[in-house]
Amino acid sequence: MRLTIFGSGYVGLVTGACMAEMGNQVVCYDIDEGKIARLNNGDVPIYEPGLDDYIARNTESGRLEFTTDVEKAVGHGLFQFISVGTPPDEDGSADLKHVLAVARAIGEHMDDYRIVVDKSTVPVGTADKVKAEIQSQLEKRNKSVEFDVVSNPEFLKEGAAIGDFMKPDRIVIGTDNPRTTELLRTLYEPFNRNHDRVISMDIRSAELTKYAANAMLATKISFMNELSNIAERVGADIEHVRVGIGSDPRIGFQFIYPGAGYGGSCFPKDVRALAKSAASEGYEAQLLDAVEDVNNRQKQRVFEKIERHFDGKIAGKKIALWGLSFKPRTDDMREAPSRVLMEALWAAGVKVRAYDPEAMGETKRIYPDQQGLELCESAHDALEGADALAIMTEWQEFRSPDFATIKDALADAVIFDGRNLYEPNIVEHFGLTYYAIGRGHDIAGNSNFGRRREDKIAQER
């Protein structure tokens, strides 16, 4: 089948490459000329495991092309996928200007029947706006061309996007036309062989399903972060609590990790946009507002721990920072907790020696010439000359470090772990003080887990 994908970002490139992999003819279009030029030179502008191989193989076979020629893009595909960004508007609602720009372009250039498939995450009612925009462009041209608009939200996870796309948990198809559902079903057939994953529904429900999924996942995270703050105050260990509740199959182990808050291009903006949609219909979504508030507060937690450890005297300190991307296996730093930490540290006069396995280029792009930021070659390099270590992303290479080396390198042997990567007993065995999330007393006036253990060891001696 012939497909056009509008927007060559995380979703567009993965969709295009995986669709081409199954034998379809795919044209990826983007307004960013630099991005398309890089793709045409065989350079993949984002880090997503496995994506470069898929793109190389399919461009070589002639099934995948990249273009900035909008006429060619609209002329190519029976299916016109929209996978452009839907960033938050100033008031937090989803900004539809890119989605509607694509609708306009399709209306301006289409001459035959088209199925416009919305993969971007968009508020309920957007399909109607896309339809109206296309229709108005056709009317301007005095054209009468049939088309359908479908909601087909994307559920891939950055870092595992190829696997998610090739073997999806579900393929949600929202249409008001059974014939279109069947055409989409045929397109997705190669991804749907083992058992039927297609869930078809009306367009509005499909649009809401995507927000519901992200809001649910964000709620799980904020719930655990809320509990971790309670655990610190009452002297419990959230990691025991996590295992204790996860063993209940109604709760489950997935997605109940406490940490430094969620980031990324989806959860923060989608929770906000859903709350805004609700508000614009006169409904105050209290739970969603709380999920966001808890998350914003949680993103400050590691900074607060650092500040408290040094009794507020942090100006002039140097912090080694491991992990910049909002989660492992991606270079995406949109709304990453590491950014909140770094910006708070800089404001307090602290220098940061940062390292991330994939997000160094992105950090340089976001913070060009940033005072107080040194980008380091390796995790070990970041420790050199630092007072303390903070960890903000759970990359695998940070999971079993050489604690003796860390202790020797740091002026003040202390780790602030925003991802609960280590067993406190082991870290402390090496003479390091260890602050994690929700593990032992760690509020003003109380000694933290690490200090309490040090006192205990001193007493035993």
Ligand X SMILES: NC(=O)c1ccc[n+]([C@@H]2O[C@H](COP(=O)([O-])OP(=O)(O)OC[C@H]3O[C@@H](n4cnc5c(N)ncnc54)[C@H](O)[C@@H]3O)[C@@H](O)[C@H]2O)c1
Which residues would be at the binding site for ligand X (CB under 6 A)?
Answer: 6-12, 29-32, 35, 83-86, 98, 101-102, 120-121, 154, 156, 158, 265-266
- Is the distance from CB of 59 to CB of 42 less than 8 angstroms? yes
Minimum CB distance to ligand X smaller for 4 or for 225: 4
Minimum distance from residue 344 beta carbon to ligand X (Å): 26
Q: How far apart are CA 263 and CA 332, in angstroms?
A: 10
Minimum distance from residue 10 beta carbon to ligand X (Å): 4
Give the residue numbers marked as catalytic: 266
Q: Which residues are CB-contacts of 17 (< 8 A; sequence separation ≥ 6)?
A: 26, 51, 54, 55, 58, 64, 162
Minimum CB distance to ligand X smaller for 154 or for 394: 154
Minimum CB distance to ligand X smaller for 210 or for 439: 210
Minimum distance from residue 112 beta carbon to ligand X (Å): 20
Minimum distance from residue 272 beta carbon to ligand X (Å): 12
Minimum distance from residue 183 beta carbon to ligand X (Å): 22
Q: How far apart are CA 47 and CA 43, in angstroms?
A: 11
Minimum distance from residue 1 beta carbon to ligand X (Å): 20
Minimum CB distance to ligand X smaller for 269 or for 439: 269
Q: How far apart are CA 77 and CA 205, in angstroms?
A: 26
Query: The tokens of 112 are what?
Result: 């035959």
Give me the long-range contacts of 33-38 (CB less than 8 A, separation at least 24): 33/68, 35/8, 36/8, 36/66, 36/67, 36/68
- Is the distance from CB of 300 to CB of 259 less than 8 angstroms? no
Minimum CB distance to ligand X smaller for 36 or for 382: 36
Please list, residue by residue across 37-65, b when 16 or more beta carbons sit within 10 angstroms of its beta carbon and e when fewer do.
Answer: eebeeeebbbbbeebbebbeebbeeebbb
Closest alpha carbon to 66 in 119, 106, 26, 95: 26
Q: How far apart are CA 372 and CA 351, in angstroms?
A: 4
Minimum CB distance to ligand X smaller for 8 or for 295: 8
